[in-house]
Amino acid sequence: MVALLLLAILTLNACGSASNLTPTSTVSSTTTTIPPNTTAIPLPATPIISSTSTETSTSVPALITNTPTQIPATTNGAGLASNQPIPTTGCGKAAPITPGLTENVTIAANPSGARGSATRSYRLHLSAKYKPNESEAILLVFHGHGGSAADMEAGSGFSTLADQQGFITVYPQGVKDDDGLPMWANVGPAADYGIDDLTFTNDMINKFQKELCVDPSRIYATGFSNGGGMSHYLACRLAGRIAAVVPIAGNYFVLPDGGCQPSRAVALLEIHGTADNVIAYNGRPDKDFPGWPLPSMPNYLAEWAKRNGCTTGPQIFLDTSEVKGEEWAGCRDNSTVAHYQMKGGGHSYPASINGRPGSEVIWSFLYQHVRS
């Protein structure tokens, strides 16, 4: 069908495979000295220090039963998942996995929103510092089209950073399309599949808050390519639960049913290469693919600044031969909108930004924002 062709064209063959998470300029795994922060986005209160230690992960599936959210079979779930925060009840409970390790977790799902499957899965990494009685932030990291949760964990570096900083990381696994490629149904052409990734995300968050000591005001999301579009989608539809997002080179389709109208201002940092030949920096007009245009990055960011009620910007806070940083300020609910324009950058996950590993830049932005 035409929609499937559009999805294939949009994501090409590059939106989240392990190769596209491999940095073009490598970041050493040995101990490094992190340059002083020279941007308007400060580090968290706890200094980030690189480590030579390696992460041990398991691949043993752990089937943990839960009651899946019931959804009508005729919808893709938009607007059906609860957008209301809930209190965490998991503090004091024994950790379901060993801190410092990663495990595959399978949860029940409604087949009508999962292409007939009764289960969905994700990779869960508890930080080495996790303690059942001390709340931690949680980060959802979405892979790109054709990628996997395992690839995203290996290529992003967030699990290693989580061990150093003390936060929980989750790598959800997308449902396969007709070509057998995992994907996220963040509206756009993927909506034809009837996959309900919004309810899947909401069910995951509910489960984490019941079983883990999660800080409900610090639930974050990021993702690459189709996964970047998914994190944008969550900012629009689950703003009552998601504190801040960092979409990377995402496919930001216009949402149906009134478009993107978050229930509160959501802090957002977007990262995009100017030479991206998969999801173009300057967007894609409707005449090229009728019904599924993509915005240019300047327009996309201006719309988010408007949603967040920002009164100033964009102000350039960084400008080098490789990257330009912009920020909008004076926004509602202590939010902000920021952007890293990777000059000459293609469709890839950022290995580093202004001399700092991409994962550190992303986390330092997210951690300064708390859902009010």
Is residue 161 one of the residues assigned to a domain? yes
pLDDT band for position 354 (cuts 50, 70, 90): very high
- Report if residue 38 sits inside a domain: no
Is 34 within the bounds of a domain?
no
Residue 22: CA atoms inside 13 Å, Cβ hemisphere, count? 4
Within-domain flag for 45: no
Span 288-304, average pLDDT: 92
CATH number of the domain at 191, please: 3.40.50.1820
Whether 139 maps to a domain, the answer reads yes
Residue 200 confidence (pLDDT) above 90: yes
291 inside domain: yes
Unique residue bearing structure tokens 């189709």: 226
Mean pLDDT, the chain, integer: 81
The structural domain count of the chain equals 1
What share of the chain in percent tops pLDDT 70?
Answer: 77
For the stretch 1-56, pLDDT in tens is 434 333 433 443 333 433 355 333 322 222 222 222 323 333 223 222 222 222 33
* Predicted confidence (pLDDT) per residue in 152-185, tens digit: 999 999 999 999 999 999 999 999 999 999 999 8
Q: What is the pLDDT of residues 216-231, one digit of tens each?
A: 999 999 999 999 999 9
> pTM score, two decimals?
0.82
Supply the range of the domain harboring residue 289: 2-20+55-70+83-367
